[in-house]
Amino acid sequence: MATSSVSKGCFVFKPKDSKKRKTSTTADYFHKGKAVSENDKLRFSSYQSLWQQMKEETERLQENLNEKMFDNFISFIKKSHVQVNSEGNDWSYRMRCSEIPTAALVLGVNVPDHEMTVQSLSDLLKQSLTPHVVCLQGKECTTVKQVLQKILKHLMGGNGNEEEEEEEEEEDMERSVDFHQIKMSCSMASLCRWYNTVAKKSTSKSPRKKRKSLLQHEVAPPIVIIFKDLESFLPKVLQDFIIIASNYIQRLPLVLVFGIATSPIIIHRMLTHSVSSLLCIELFQSLPCIDHLAAVIDKLVLTTKFPFKLSGKVLQVLINIFLYHDFSAKNFVKGFQLSLLEHYYTQPLSFLCCALNETNARVHHLSHDDCELIRQLPSLMGYVDHQDSEKQVELLTNDQYLKTIVQTLLTDLHVYHKNYFAVLKCLHIFTSSLPKYPLGKQIRELYITCLESNVWEIKEYSSAFQLLGMMAKDELVRLLQKCVEVLQSSEHKSLAQATQTLEDFLAKFQKLDDAPVDDVEDGEENITESQRSLQKKTDLYQLQKTLMEMKVLKRRKKPSRFECLRMDVLQFMDQLARQYLVSPDTQPLHELVYFQDASTLRRHLNAAPRAALQMALSNPYYYLKNEALKSEGGTITYAAPDICIIYKLHLECGRLINLYDWLQAFATVVCAAEGKDPDEINNGQVEGVIHARFIRAVSELEFLGFIKSTKRKTDHVARLTWGGF
């Protein structure tokens, strides 16, 4: 067990026969400390399977959203140094070669999503273009020396993130560089020497089987340096590094990438004109975070691919956190995952929240206890109340009959969602372009409205249809064509008739264009005659009489064929909404697939640290679960921790707290807890231990932000918070 070393050190030797501590897994929490049942395992496996599908869907979505930007970015890097080895005598070419190719990547204010985007970009570069990719963060690079050290460590020492299972021994020996030497010789000259000896050798070798290079090996691969958060870098450090790198741009194929959260103008604010002129900047814009959220909601929420659904209040909590906190689609997906986990954890029948092809087998294996839990669901109780007496008896007593009905209801629930989302998208197509957006501009707003109540009962619904009643023919035809495409994509039999009706409306509008102009109606002739009479000389009485006649004739005017057809279209859309957009709360067994506990989700995601601190200090039993800490409101328990006693005593004081009086009150409580007589404190002298405990508790309270020192009185502290639990 002994060891020798030139330098002093501490060595830890673990015993060979030591038993590993048993760690709890996520599956252990599903049975809540009870015996593990088959339903618990099934719930956990269902959660894992469903979340894996959702995770893969979001990853594919992320790749598709950034695909165009990444393709342009790869093309920019490929062309940045492709002509370095070619001969060029043009003045503009020589000027461009003396500049550092720089990509300004505007990622948006959704900072939590930047890591995911940058990581995807880095992986894509390593797989398709170059293995020499370095990612830098502002908090790790406060000096130029640290910037160079990070670059040399990632390139010369190996990144550790490259998944290359088969590497040649010669390359391994060249990459095994002592990190102490890197720190001693951190300079661009060292990087040049390494690149000339190591990187260019890879160009003469055949490409690896696993790496599909888009860049032919005629040109050495570039070195891409990504500044993840440009705003957090010190301007002086950034300027010095760019000046140093510009002197080596003819020998090193460098490419800089600036990750920008605010605006591209930040580059010119951080860099002087002389430094920014050394860069050849090209701008790349990522998808706005609002569009990213809309795509995520469309793929995860407004779909029948996944059986799990969110209630209106839960979805509103997640959207509010997105809009008012971080604009992060990544955090929105995490909140969605938390909702999924809470649903499968708290709902004992959530194992029935699965794909439709798995439902029949799981319903068939329901036990008697499971059937009793199903009978206790409020939605099924309402369904039973609407049945006749014989079916009610069968549903409440016969488990086999109940299983048959449950299978039918779950199938109907799936069909309900298919029709619901198709009609919802059609209604959104009609109302999203209206002035002032009475039913919302985004489909998520309309969806939340439909979840919380019947949409046709609100005032905004009637306002929207009044505006639709004034829509022009061309716009109405365009909206009908979009609705037909949506209904055809649903491919459900119940909406086939609705699709055919909309196609018939389109055909009638087409006939309106082809039909000849009808003769002028009698009412229109009378109006024209009245308008002509207005042009003649007349007195005030005759003028008033003519205007009244015109008003009456306009009221009697028959609507045109287009107006009648437009009214029929709106009536049909209103009929579709009333038929298919009924609230999910009316559907039997909706509790199995809908998560409705918005308060739990809000408590987990919207943390309130001050409220938690005040609860812990005023009522320590809430967290410590010690019976000796139980007390009535407002009283001070002697067995409470020192900081809790100090906190309750400071609640009795005003704006300024006298430290001496505070100490005496604390000593009185502590002495009573230890069984001492508080009157034994002679002349106000307290023991040194009590005094030290008081100072430590006051310091902790100051650290938590409840008090602060004040210059108004030297022996006082100022109170910073008011109120408590």
Distance CA 604, CA 615 (A): 16
Average pLDDT over residues 603-630: 85
Quick: pLDDT tens for 267-310: 999 999 999 999 999 999 998 999 999 999 999 999 999 999 99
Task: Write down the mean pLDDT value for the chain.
Answer: 82
CATH no., domain 609-719: 1.10.10
Tens-digit pLDDT profile for residues 671-714:
876 666 655 554 455 678 888 999 999 999 999 999 998 888 88
Choice among 63-67, 305-309, 437-441 with the minimum mean pLDDT: 63-67
Give the range among 100-109, 144-153, 423-432, 621-630 with minimum mean pLDDT: 621-630
pLDDT, residue 209, reads: 40
CB 469 within 8 A of CB 566: yes
In angstroms, rounded to a whole number, what is the distance separating the alpha carbons of residues 697 and 444?
50
Mean per-residue pLDDT, 529-546: 63
CB of 224 within 8 A of CB of 70?
no
Positions of CATH 1.10.10 in the chain: 609-719
Contacts of 395 (CB under 8 A, 6+ apart): 375, 380, 384, 387, 401, 402, 405
* CA separation for the pair 105, 264 (Å, rounded): 8
User: Checking phi first, is residue 580 left (phi over 0); if not, alpha (psi -120 to 50) or beta?
Assistant: alpha
Fold of the domain spanning 67-161+176-286: Rossmann fold (3.40.50)
Angle of CA points 280, 285, 289, to nearest 5°: 155
Q: Which pLDDT belongs to residue 154?
A: 87
- Closest of 409, 344, 415 to residue 380, by C-alpha: 409
Region of 388 please: left (phi>0), alpha (psi -120 to 50) or beta.
beta
Proportion of the chain above pLDDT 90, given as a percent: 52
**pLDDT tens for residues 94-110?**
445 678 999 999 999 88
Once rounded to an integer, what is the mean pLDDT over residues 156-173? Answer: 46
Q: Residue 511 has what pLDDT?
A: 86
**Looking at residue 171, what is its pLDDT?**
47
Q: Where in the chain is the domain with CATH 3.40.50.300?
A: 67-161+176-286
Return the minimum-mean-pLDDT range out of 13-17, 231-235, 271-275, 671-675: 13-17
pLDDT of residue 195 exceeding 60: yes
pTM: 0.79
Average the pLDDT over 251-270 and give the result: 92
Q: Please tell me the predicted confidence (pLDDT) of residue 652.
A: 87
Q: Is 32 left (phi over 0), alpha (psi -120 to 50) or beta?
A: left
Return the top range by mean pLDDT from 1-5, 11-15, 311-315, 533-537: 311-315
